[in-house]
Structure 1
Amino acid sequence: MKYYFSACLGSALLIIGDVFATRLTIVTEHLAPFQIVDKTSISGLSTEIVEATLRASPYQYTIDVHPWSLAFKRAVQEHNTCIYSLARLPIRETQFQWIGHIASATSSFYSLKRRKDIPLASVEDAKKFRTAVIQDDVTHQFLLSKGFEENSNLYATSNYDSLLTLLEVPSRNIDLVIINDDLIRYRLKRSEEIQQYQNLLEIDELQLDFHLACSIDTDRDIVETLSASMQDLEQNGTLPNIRNNWRSKLVEQP
């Protein structure tokens, strides 16, 4: 799915040459409330921050929405391509050029509320059960690093819409999912159905900082321009205001 936007300010119309002609490719996934994708548009907390940054730059851009594994692959490999919302992890540090911080988030193990047979006091306890995560997401990498094994106690799927549903499919034998807590709160705001799920354990090691980042093959002047734009918007209150507005839309988990 592709969305076309112009990020040129009025004054930028006077700019000619390579800078004005530069078009960036921005890749992301559907991950409400950070990225909310429908048939005609993309919105969300992170999208507003990224677009504010791009509007303050002289570049045009498109936003392409993919499953996370494909978005990540494109952002690693392609010229003048950036990605959001990307958790900044040591293993990824040299894979990208980092533009700036978007938001922070926590993740937890969830199960169906009717399940009373899953005592969970640690990540190690979860190895006794079968957990579903997003393919190639930080949660997937995290459980693999903790000794979880695919096709044994770990299952990976391609999108968040199917993740919670897996808990309700008996043939999948999924006991737990790891999911972003803000995503749960957002869905709670929109649907009573989410109340059938319970948070069993917040994962301290998965308190993440989401960033906008660009491929190593992105021109350095683009990286410096976007970084400066983001810093200016942070200092003048634009980005903090966006975060505060979105926090007011979320509700506390029961």
Structure 2
Amino acid sequence: MRKIRICSSITLLLMLAPVSGAEIRVLTEHLPPFQIDSAGAATGFATDVVRQTFKDAGISYQIEFQSWSRAYQLALRDPNTCIFSISKSKERQALFQWIGELSYNTTAIYGLTSRTDIVLKSLEQAKSYVIAVTRDDVTHHYLLQHGFEEGKNLYVLENVSSMLNVLTSRRQGIDLVIINETILKYRAIESGLTPAEFRKLLVLPDLPLDFHLACSLKTPAAIVARLRSSLQGIKTDGRFDKIVTGWSERLH
């Protein structure tokens, strides 16, 4: 018991101790309902969790919206930089310092409901069509690893905001997109479309979108440790679930 009390005291002291250094740059993209760029104000489920994490950790930060590719490259390169919501694929594990999971989602290939000619039973069959993805997104890297080729059956967008519009207009011959159901619903509403216009064709169980908060390798270890402890504390005391419930109610 004495050992446990000593460890707990050390953890508390680390959390209370001031963190020196520059303000942390927190990068993300507009991806409702996880993070929403609304008239210059950052909102959304994941944003609320990230804000609470930094607040509890006592770390100064500034959230910035960028295209995903730019956010990803900056987080790879720059010190005092974090990024969310980023998927923790095996290939990315050594590239960042991972703070913790913000949400978990399953991913699928979707097409237009009106395209009854498309039937998919495997990812290999999808190579006969053109799939739109966001540059440097985990879906982009995933399809490249599975033999898809840019300019042939892979169309790369700079951001996800135009993905459903590109699909519905069939610009550039786009046939399919990879997305999760929650994002699909919000993107459809934003674009003046309805979720019923899109049909799930193939679930990708080996491509979970387990969104995380992560920081660059050049971000100080003390900041990373404090953020990890803060996020875990939010999950332990029930505030994380409260944020989830609040946003879930808005989805219905």
TM bucket by the smaller chain? 0.7 to 0.9
Contact persistence 2:161–2:187 (CA under 8 A) = no
SS in 2 for 1:161: helix
Contact persistence 2:135–2:158 (CA under 8 A) = yes
Distance 1:130 1:188, change over 3 A: closer
Aligned to 1:12: none
Separation in 2, partners of 1:223, 1:160: 29
**C-alpha deviations, 1:28-84, integer Å up to 9, x for none?**
001111111122211111001000101102221111110100000111111110000
Aligned to 1:148: 148
Separation in 2, partners of 1:189, 1:155: 23
Distance 1:198 1:52, change over 3 A: same
Residue 185 (structure 1) shift: 2.7
Aligned to 1:216: 217
SS in 2 for 1:186: helix
Aligned to 2:65: 65
Separation in 2, partners of 1:189, 1:77: 35
Once the two structures are superposed, the pairs formed by residues 195-210 of structure 1 within 5 Å of their partners are: 195-210=196-211
SS in 2 for 1:129: coil
1:248 matched to 2:237? The reply is: no
**C-alpha deviations, 1:124-159, integer Å up to 9, x for none?**
110111111111100011111111111111111011
Separation in 2, partners of 1:91, 1:99: 17
Contact persistence 1:22–1:59 (CA under 8 A) = no
Separation in 1, partners of 2:211, 2:110: 21
1:231 matched to 2:226? The reply is: no
Cα RMSD of the aligned pairs, angstroms, is 1.9
1:111 matched to 2:111? The reply is: yes
Scaled by the length of structure 2, the TM-score of the pair is: 0.88
SS in 2 for 1:204: coil
Separation in 2, partners of 1:249, 1:117: 35
Separation in 2, partners of 1:215, 1:38: 26
Q: Which amino acid aligns with 2:61?
A: Y
Range moving further from structure 2, 28-37 or 184-193: 184-193
Aligned to 2:49: 49
Contact persistence 1:28–1:65 (CA under 8 A) = yes
**C-alpha deviations, 1:67-111, integer Å up to 9, x for none?**
100000111111110000011111111111111111101221111
Residue 170 (structure 1) shift: 4.2
1:162 matched to 2:166? The reply is: no
Aligned pair count?
236
Q: Which amino acid aligns with 1:205?
A: D
Distance 1:119 1:250, change over 3 A: same
Aligned to 1:6: none
Separation in 2, partners of 1:247, 1:206: 23
